[in-house]
Amino acid sequence: MGLMEQLTLGLGESPSTVVKRGWQLRERDLRKVLEARDSDSNAAERPTRGNSEVWPLLSHHRFNPGSLFGLGESGQVQEKALSLLLAYDGLVASDPLYEVAAAARTGHREQAIADLQRVVTQIAEVEPLIAGGLIRFTSARPSFSSPSRQAVTDALGLGNMIEFGFSNFEMAFEDVVRSGPRAEAEYVDELGAVFKSLSLRPPRNALEARRANAALASAVIYVSWQLAVCSEDSACDLTLTRALERHLLDEVITRAAPGFDSSSLQQLRGDTRHVRTLAAGKIPNLDTTNLTTADALALRRDGAFESFRDKLKSAMDQLPKDGDTLQDAGAAYSIFRERMQEAARELRESGKRSKLGNLMKSTSTEVGLGLGFSWLLSGEAVPSATAFADPLTKISMTVMSWLQGRRALSGRDIAMRYFATMGDRTQQ
């Protein structure tokens, strides 16, 4: 039983019917939905995905643009989901009933009812997409003490920062400013040391340090959750929304290499890179003024968009063959870019002739696609699972579980995995 079935069983009607009838949910509705959720003991079956499929994992973190059901305004969920589905195979969303259950469990029943009303309204917007198998949900919420997530924060040297450091820096800011220049300098230097350890530019003053502290905390929370979930569930893909998040992923892959020594990090950083954003072409933006779900699904099935996605898959399949050595990588990226530029041009031309072409704007958006890879975590270099007690091996296993989630390695294969990018599309 999935989320739709839980809601329908608890409410007695589908979310779209509840919204259409204008029902205001009550305590009884909350209780029934949570009872249906609690009684659902069957783990959802994880589908098998191909190496060139991309199913972005959309989080529950409301501070991050990668969220779907964390959005507040009605209509935004449908618009965002429909635009993403033109480029990607499907979406995996974090279960929005988790927050409803958490609020109810901690005694905030009125808040839980309000959250349930919002979730039902948002689910109703995309009900046909869920029914069509284009959106699925994950209930995975690994804590910071879970092995995979702790492996990420420990590898970055931020285990203590997660528990105390980030919040301490935030709480200390006002006192530091009141205390004068010397205290400010110490504050900046202390946080600057953290940034330098991650190969990041250190903040230059106290205000910049405060903002950088908040940004780093959000990025670590988000990236560690994404990697923990995707390393255990290969049916969903990392979704990174900012350059800082991509940098942290690059750091994690670097530190996962067997025999990694932090003293050699700067030397490694000079000529080694494990994360690339790819020029995957542009798709037209949609005029959503009168766009219906039926129109969007028809547009997704339209020959122009189907052809673009087919060519994207073909280019993704070919990339590892073109760049199977470090020396070939640059040429492989160039070939990939040229293929997708041609595919995007054909999409624009075909779209103009489509019967649904009136829904396409003249503006366009880059398809967000990235690649994580490691030559040092390839083939026989992978550490054995029997050594999982060692901290560095823990992160090696977590990263390898993600990199190999869609493609088992053999011989000298390069460990690699595609991921989605959205929000900040800055090329790296």
Residue 163 DSSP symbol? I
Q: How far is CA 168 from CA 76, 143, 171, in A?
A: 35, 20, 5
Of all helices (H) and strands (E), which one includes residue 284?
strand 275-286
Q: How far is CA 298 from CA 121, 295, 355, in A?
A: 23, 5, 10
| Mean pLDDT of all residues in 398-413 | 76
pLDDT: is 388 or 289 the higher one?
289
- How do residues 43-80 score in pLDDT, each as one tens digit? 667 788 888 899 999 988 877 777 888 655 555 787 78
Structure-token match 């903002």, residue found: 211
Q: Which has the closest alpha carbon to 281: 313, 244, 250?
A: 313
Q: Give dist(CA 306, CA 354) in Å, integer.
A: 12
Domain coordinates in residue numbering, the chain? 3-40+57-138, 244-421
* DSSP secondary structure, 105-130, as one string: HTT-HHHHHHHHHHHHHHHHHTHHHH
Tell me the residue type at 155: A
What is this structure's pTM? 0.87
Q: Give dist(CA 391, CA 264) in Å, integer.
A: 18
189 φ/ψ sector (left φ>0, alpha ψ -120 to 50, else beta)? alpha
Residue 346 neighbours by CB distance under 10 Å: 15
- How do residues 161-184 score in pLDDT, each as one tens digit? 887 889 999 999 999 999 999 999
Q: Give dist(CA 16, CA 78) in Å, integer.
A: 13
Query: What was the pLDDT predicted at 427?
Result: 35
Query: What was the pLDDT predicted at 245?
Result: 94
Alpha helix positions (H), 323-361: 329-353
